[in-house]
Amino acid sequence: MDDTSKKLVEIQHLKQYFPVAGSSILSRTYVKAVDDVSFFIRKGQTLGLVGESGCGKTTTGRTLLQLYEPTAGRIIYDGNVIFDSGNVPLYDENGKPVLDGEGKPVLGKKTKVNMLPYRRKMQIVFQDPYASLDPRMTVGDIVGEAIDIHKLASSKAERRDKIITMLERVGLNSEHANRYPHEFSGGQRQRVGIARALAVDPEFIVCDEPISALDVSIQAQVINMLEDLQREFGLTYLFIAHDLSVVKHISTKIGVMYLGKLVEMADSYELTFHSCHPYTRSLISAIPIADPITSRNSKRIVLQGDIPSPVNPPSGCHFRTRCPYADKLCAEAEPKWGKVGEGHWCACHHLDRVD
Ligand SMILES: Nc1ncnc2c1ncn2[C@@H]1O[C@H](COP(=O)(O)OP(=O)(O)O)[C@@H](O)[C@H]1O
Ligand SMILES: [Mg+2]
């Protein structure tokens, strides 16, 4: 993998808090759906984002695209700051905070740009192909709408050519253009969703659990197609899944989220075989192993209890209420995000750090 390619997408200390409906104005409570998440994705690479349902994966993807205005943080796209809440430290190219003359961290400037030019470059494929396609529009118009918004065709003929090329790229054909979403299978609808994202010639796509709603038999086809499209168009992906087995083959790096926070991040191989966070280990132990001998020897780690509410997360380490190793320190202090190996980061009190 080319580790020197440029960072295309970066988020720093991103937060997305939703006010809880019904909480009074004076004592507003918030769902901390995304709580201080930072990562970057290099051009042409894939970051897999995994974690149980409700941990904030979708919100991370949507906030990064600014479909919601972030509560705080910084978003950088292709070297340009496209959002900055103005209270986040600036970092140099090595990831170290920039300091002023007195040694205090310099904060970024409050920034909000017009997103229209970025909307074309940054696309999303939704989890549910049934809900994300307008049932009253033909498939041709669904794909064509994005082309119209961004004025990417100068004539009707060019528009139609573009639509058909896109449908063919995702394994559909020109006859499908005049049909409505309900006439398609789940897998075909997801192909339409992918064609819609691709029609505007994007650089970056958030794939939000694109295969979760599909039959197992067609999941691999859609994954293979997304990989082929990535190679063909040099696309960069944020690939969200609740299941590690889905992302481990296609991701360059994998980030693991728990209750609004990243708990571990490493290269895909490193994370799969040398994970150190107890939560990541439990996710890995849940992947079925095809080989019966290995399978008999490997122990499944089953976590106790449910994910606590993101409105009122546990003190200290969010994971401590379900962690087999939790002690007093875990309840008192939030573990810091620290380096545990080359390109391998983790937030846990019980790890030896490299630096
Ligand atoms: N628009 C919203 N308003 C209020 N709460 C939300 C909204 N979207 C998501 N949440 C809450 O934020 C948390 C994270 O949700 P989500 O990002 O959808 O998780 P995931 O995609 O990992 O399943 C959940 O507790 C969810 O209920
Ligand atoms: Mg989701």
Q: How confident is the model at residue 180 (pLDDT cuts 50, 70, 90)?
A: very high
Distance 204 CA to ligand 1 centre (A): 22
Would the pLDDT of 1 be above 60? no
Q: What pLDDT is stored for residue 301 in this prediction?
A: 73
Atom of ligand 1 nearest to the CA of 209: 21
- Give Cα separations from 57 to 91, 240, 256, 355 (angstroms): 24, 7, 9, 29
Residue 262 CA, distance from chain mean position:
11
Atom of ligand 1 nearest to the CA of 260: 14
Q: Which has more pLDDT, 233 or 302?
A: 233
Distance 341 CA to ligand 2 centre (A): 29
Would the pLDDT of 100 be above 90? yes
Q: What pLDDT is stored for residue 291 in this prediction?
A: 61
Q: How confident is the model at residue 3 (pLDDT cuts 50, 70, 90)?
A: low
Distance 31 CA to ligand 1 centre (A): 8
The pLDDT of 335-341, averaged and rounded, is 92
Distance 132 CA to ligand 2 centre (A): 14
State the ligand closest to the CA atom of 62. Answer: 1
- Judged by DSSP in three states, 287 sits in coil
The pLDDT of 301-306, averaged and rounded, is 77
Cα–Cα distance measured from residue 338 to residue 207, given in angstroms and rounded to the nearest whole number: 28
Would the pLDDT of 273 be above 60? yes
Least confident segment among 206-220, 256-270, 299-313: 299-313
Atom of ligand 1 nearest to the CA of 61: 17
If you take atom 2 of ligand 1, which residue's CA is the nearest one? 18
Distance 68 CA to ligand 2 centre (A): 15
Q: Which has more pLDDT, 75 or 2?
A: 75
Distance 213 CA to ligand 2 centre (A): 12
Q: What pLDDT is stored for residue 352 in this prediction?
A: 66
Domain boundaries, the chain: 7-242, 254-347
Residue 347 CA, distance from chain mean position:
19
The tens digit of pLDDT for each residue in 130-139 reads: 888 999 999 9
If you take atom 26 of ligand 1, which residue's CA is the nearest one? 54
Cα–Cα distance measured from residue 328 to residue 338, given in angstroms and rounded to the nearest whole number: 20
Would the pLDDT of 290 be above 80? no
Handedness of CA 41, 47, 52, 57 (dihedral sign): positive
Q: What pLDDT is stored for residue 88 in this prediction?
A: 95
Roughly how many angstroms between the first and final C-alpha of the chain, as a whole number? 25
With 0.85 as the threshold, say if the pTM is over it.
Answer: yes
If you take atom 14 of ligand 1, which residue's CA is the nearest one? 56
Q: What pLDDT is stored for residue 354 in this prediction?
A: 59
Q: Determine the topology of domain 7-242 in CATH.
A: Rossmann fold (3.40.50)
Chain-wide mean pLDDT for the chain?
Answer: 91
Would the pLDDT of 295 be above 60? no
For residue 171 the two structure tokens come to: 């394994």
CB count in 10 Å sphere of residue 263? 25
- Give Cα separations from 146 to 44, 247, 311 (angstroms): 23, 28, 36
Q: How confident is the model at residue 306 (pLDDT cuts 50, 70, 90)?
A: confident
Would the pLDDT of 296 be above 70? no
The tens digit of pLDDT for each residue in 52-79 reads: 999 999 999 999 999 999 999 999 999 9
Pocket test for ligand 1, best of 15, 18, 283 (most atoms within 8 A of CB): 18
DSSP secondary structure letters along 79-93: TEEEEE-S-SB-B-T
The tens digit of pLDDT for each residue in 244-272 reads: 988 988 999 999 999 999 999 999 999 99
State the ligand closest to the CA atom of 313. Answer: 1
Residue 111 CA, distance from chain mean position:
23
Q: Are strands 122-125 and 204-208 parallel, antiparallel or unpaired?
A: parallel
The tens digit of pLDDT for each residue in 117-173 reads: 999 999 999 988 888 899 999 999 999 998 999 899 999 999 999 999 999 999 999
Question: Residue 90 has what DSSP assignment?
Answer: -
Please list every protein residue whose CB sits less than 6 Å from any atom of ligand 1. Answer: 18, 31, 33, 51, 53-59, 310
